[in-house]
Amino acid sequence: MTFQYLLDACLNVLSPANFLMLAAAVLAGLIMGMLPGLSATMAIALLTGLTYNVGDHQTAIIALLGVYVGAISGGCQSAILLNIPGTPASAATALDGFPMARQGNGGLAIFIATTASCLGTILSVIFVLTLTPLLTSFALKFASWEFFFLSIFGILICGTLTARGNALKGWISGICGLLTAQIGLDTVDTFARFSYGNVNMMSGIQLIPVMIGLFGFPEIVKAFKSGSEAKVLQLTSFNILKGFRIVRDNIVGVVRSAFIGVGVGIIPGVGEDVGGWLSYWAMKASGRNTDGFGKGDPRGIVAAETGNNACVGGAIIPVLSLAVPGSAPAAVLMAAFFMHNYRPGPLLMTESPEFLYNVAVYLVFASVLMWLIALGMARVTVRVLTVNKKLLMPVVFLLCVVGAYLINYNLFDVKVMFFFGLIGLAMSYMNVPAAPFILGVVLGSMADSNLRRALRLSDGSFLPLFERPISVAFLIVCVLMILSQTGLLAWLRGKVKRER
């Protein structure tokens, strides 16, 4: 029966109309992913509206999944070429991708990123097909305490996300991001914090304008600094075999990142961006010779891109089994499923059992097509590196402004972008990394609201935190991270040795 469903789905997607639709959707997704401001969530939302009148629901589902995979994967190209992540999901890719491009290896970096993206999605589909029931129960193990510690853990890894190895600067940046996320109506009591009666401030600081500002502005200004390198980069051609070899050599990292990505994807409320960051951190923490991270180590790209794409499958798992979306794009996707007369959730396997297999097969086809199309596009996009920056950056600047505006059609977001652009500029002069700031904004309200919710549930007692295995494990890891990053761990070890 399973085989029959898979075969049917393959035939479905291979029909000329559907295949063309998938290719078009993947291409559209890639382009939207590349443009700063247009995130995967928006791409799917836009397409949801457009597919409303598409008669064949399968065609619509194919298009939606195509645009999802495309948008999550497309962001890496602008991250690598311009150091401006196209979507928050590929922010971690910029850390090593951009240095690689500056060394003239932009093509190779995009190849690795795209291949890793493709593998990430395909691996996550395997999880969808085999482990959906098991992983669903894992998702339900996450309650307020676990969410709180997950976000604290995320902030703590900020210390290691910095290229220059200065953990303190990473933490400062991360905590600033955390504080930025506190602006607006708080999610527990709907109290307006730091908003001074301004309606726009009340609805909170959006992640994307902050990201565009922090990453984009310094790049734009640097291009016009007097004495900045006027020379244009020479592209070194790269060997595809070399790209494959890098991916193959890191296959353990790919699988690990896929596990992390799927896990993060399943947990409701945390999505592709966190998946990329955690995978990157895990790659760095477990690797040897990690000095090159942040300076153009291809392993960083492999981890970040596998991790964020693996979230796609992960986020769809709870949609299919419980009708609870695992990430923001998956939430819009779920709404689109409903619109096309599917009822994802516990009744799915009895009402339309073929749907799970359809989604899985479409995702695999989407990611393979994405790989082909993205690499084809990269032949054109890498030429961006050969353009004189003084000519290129005004265009990028325009894209940044438009991108910030498009999120809510609100000029306030453009102002936010400018404001954080200036902060980003200051940070870049002081060598404070911007990446942890973004992570802080992503995790800030999660840390805040979950701690307060957990304490309200327990009437202010911290005891329940020790009764939950996952949260205790998180607590131990967090304590170890603080000790090791501040050098206390080494000091303790030394002390124990001396006493012996």
Partner 1 sequence: MKRTLALLSLAVSFACPAWSADWPNRNINLTVPYGAGGTTDLTARSIASGMSKVLGATINVVNTPGAGGSAGSLNVQNAKLDGYSLLANGLLAFTTMPLNGYTEKTFRDWDIWIATYAPNGIIVPANSPYNTITDLINAIKAKPGQITAGTAGIGSGGHFGAEVIKAVAGADYKHITYQGGGPAVTATLSGEVDFCPQLLAEYKDLIISGKVKGLASLSESDIELAPGKVLPSILKSFPDAKKYLPMGEVTGIMIPKGLPEDILKKIDAAFESAVKEKEFLDFAAVRSFTVMPKGRAESQAFLETFAGRAAYILYDAGAVTVDPAKYGFKRP
Which spans of this chain sit near partner 1 (rule: CB under 8 A)?
45-46, 48-49, 52-53, 139-144, 187-190, 199-200, 202-203, 268-269, 322-325, 331-332, 334-336, 338-339, 341, 343, 345-347, 408-410, 445, 449, 453, 456-457
Going by C-alpha positions, the residue among 105, 206, 167, 229 that lies closest to residue 436 is 167
* Per-residue tokens: 51: 């597919």
User: Which of residues 8 and 186 has its CB atom nearest to partner 1 in the complex?
Assistant: 186
Q: Are 218 and 43 in contact (CB under 8 A)?
A: no
Amino acid identity of 112? I
User: Cα 68 to the chain's mean position, in Å?
Assistant: 12
Alpha carbon separation from 337 to 52, 128, 266, 348, 358 (Å, rounded): 11, 17, 18, 11, 12
Identity of residue 320? L
Q: Least separation, in Å, of the C-beta of 464 and partner 1?
A: 10
Taking the C-alpha atoms of residue 235 and residue 383, their distance in angstroms, rounded to an integer, is 8
Q: Rounded to the nearest whole angstrom, what is the least distance from the CB of residue 450 to partner 1 in the complex?
A: 10
Q: What is the 3-state secondary structure (H, E, C) of 420-487?
A: HHHHHHHHHHCCCCCHHHHHHHHHHHHHHHHHHHHHHHCCCCCHHHHHCHHHHHHHHHHHHHHHHHCC
Least CB distance to partner 1 at residue 323 (A): 6
153 in Cβ contact with 418 (< 8 Å): no
Between 46 and 126, name the residue whose CB sits nearer to partner 1: 46
d(CA 259, CA 374): 24
Phi, psi of 164 (to 5 degrees): -85, 5
- Of 45 and 378, which CB lies nearer to partner 1 in the complex structure? 45
192-193 vs 184-185, strand pairing mode: antiparallel
Of 53 and 226, nearer to partner 1 (C-beta) is 53
Give the shortest CB-23-to-partner 1 separation in angstroms.
23
Q: Toward partner 1, which CB reaches closer, 304 or 441? A: 441
- Residue 49 vs 394, nearer CB to partner 1: 49
Nearest approach, Cβ of residue 440 and partner 1 (Å): 17
Which C-beta is closer to partner 1: that of 64 or that of 89? Answer: 64
Nearer to partner 1, 249 or 351 (CB): 351
CA dist 450 and 395 (Å) reads 41
Coil, strand, or helix at residue 192?
Answer: strand
Taking the complex as a whole, the smallest distance from the CB of residue 258 to partner 1 amounts, in Å, to: 23
CB of 346 to partner 1, least distance (A): 4
Closest distance between partner 1 and the C-beta of residue 188, in Å? 5
3-state secondary structure of 317: helix
Between 190 and 226, whose beta carbon lies closer to partner 1? Answer: 190
The distance of closest approach from Cβ of residue 211 to partner 1 in the complex, given in angstroms and rounded to an integer, is 18
Strands (E), 168-215: 184-185, 192-193
Q: Which is nearer to partner 1, 102 or 468 (CB)?
A: 468
Q: In angstroms, what is the minimal distance from the CB of 202 to partner 1?
A: 7
* Residue 185, SS3 per DSSP: strand
Which DSSP string do the residues of 97-161 spell out, in sequence order? HHHHIIIIIHHHHHHHHHHHHHHHHHHHHHHHHHHHHHHHHHHHT--HHHHHHHHHHHHHGGGGS
